Amino acid sequence: MAAEDAFLADIARIAARTVPPERESLDEALAAALTVLESVPSTLRPADSEGLPGGLVRLPLLPTAILPDIHARPDFLEAAFNWTPPGAAACLACLLAEGRANMVVLGDLFHSEAEGAAQVWRMASMEYAGHWAERSVMDGEMSKALAGALIVLRATAAFPGSFFCLKGNHDNIANEEGRGDHPFYKYAREGAMASSWFLLTYGPETLAEYHRFELDLPLAVCGDRFVASHGEPAFALRPKDIIEYRRRPEVVEALIWTPNDGAARGSVEDGLAAFFADREPGTLWFGGHRPIEPGRRYMLRANGRYVQFHAPGHRRLVWLEPGRDPDPERDIVGIGGD
């Protein structure tokens, strides 16, 4: 069996699980992914001033798939790896294995937010209030979230240099305040609940290693005529600002927490100009974070230069090919029956 076939079979099993992964399986996947994240060549992920992998990935000049926020949707990830891009003779996982494509996930692996999620979180909050004496609802929620996280961990190890997950504001299993992160709540106290459940289920060492993985995630990717990050940059950022993210909590916050209409005027345009001084016109910045309006495939912000395409009820990705300006009308495609 080819390596990509084994990978696809593995993630199919993971996506189909209805119980959380065993601690040993999660620990093993974390160790493998951390080894890759912490040894990325500086030609791909430029090192910061202390020699650590920086917050920016400079993608190889290859076709690139960008997935928006995951939010406990392992089926979305599975569909993406099995998807065959336009004009390709093989699925995306095969292209990644052969070094013929890039794949980027915009983070937010935890905390479901699709239809019905509010009711699930309200029910889980009652389990949390009871100190997890009963935990069946939260077990179901975390089974999906961890299935998605485990697929991302396996892909990070399986396709080094081709697959990248970026940090989102939900990627904070410790629910900490600081380093650009804030505790999260929306329908309930999702951040505190997920952290408490994780600690009870896997213990402090695994929680610490998973949080280390989150903190090691890059913040942005730069490809041919595009930049992508979890959210809209709150202020203009140069490549070196993002590279130094470990000592710049304001940069982390600026790329994962910006609300709609919360960015400074010109932040996207000035950021794109810093990345593409030689051919800035026609370049775009892609992001997720805030869901788009129902019935839309994408929304344009920042005078049409920032493309928001996170739609929780749909499976859509961006497929960008080098040598041509990105076009959201053409390049945002539905997969897996969407």
Considering only CA atoms, which of 105, 106, 50 is closest in space to residue 244? 50
Q: 226 has which bridge partners?
A: 223, 284
Side chain identity at 9, as an amino acid letter?
A
User: In the prediction, which pLDDT does 281 show?
Assistant: 84
Considering only CA atoms, which of 274, 277, 193 is closest in space to residue 237? 274
Average pLDDT, the chain: 96
Per-residue b or e along 323-333, where b marks 16 or more CB atoms closer than 10 Å to that residue's CB: eeebebeebbb
Using a 10 angstrom Cβ sphere, with 0-12 exposed, 13-18 middle and 19 or more buried, the burial of residue 61 is: exposed
* Token couple for 266: 């010109």
User: In the prediction, which pLDDT does 279 show?
Assistant: 67
pLDDT over 80 (residue 276): yes
User: In the prediction, which pLDDT does 117 show?
Assistant: 93
**Chain centre distance of CA 326:** 20
CB-based contacts of 227: which residues, under 8 Å, 6+ apart?
220, 221, 271, 272, 275, 283, 284, 285, 286
Q: What is the DSSP letter of 71?
A: S
Question: Residue 243 — φ and ψ, nearest 5°?
Answer: -60, -35
**Helix, strand or coil for residue 165?**
strand
Cα separation, 154 vs 336, in Å, equals 21
Mean of pLDDT values over 186-199: 96
pLDDT over 90 (residue 320): yes
Question: Residue 42 — φ and ψ, nearest 5°?
Answer: -65, -20
Mean of pLDDT values over 142-150: 98
- Which pTM value belongs to this model? 0.97
Q: What is the DSSP string of 189-213?
A: -HHHHHHHHHHHHHHHHHHHHHHHH
CB-based contacts of 265: which residues, under 8 Å, 6+ apart?
none
Considering only CA atoms, which of 253, 273, 269 is closest in space to residue 306? 269
* Token couple for 36: 């890759």
Considering only CA atoms, which of 186, 47, 42 is closest in space to residue 111? 186
User: In the prediction, which pLDDT does 336 show?
Assistant: 80
Q: Specify the residue for token string 């609802």.
A: 137
Q: Specify the residue for token string 């080098």.
A: 322
How sure is the predictor about 310, in pLDDT bands with cuts at 50, 70 and 90?
very high
User: In the prediction, which pLDDT does 33 show?
Assistant: 98
Cα separation, 91 vs 73, in Å, equals 20
User: In the prediction, which pLDDT does 105 show?
Assistant: 98
Q: Higher confidence at residue 284 or residue 338?
A: 284
pLDDT in tens, 54-113: 999 999 999 999 999 999 999 999 999 999 999 999 999 999 999 999 999 999 999 999
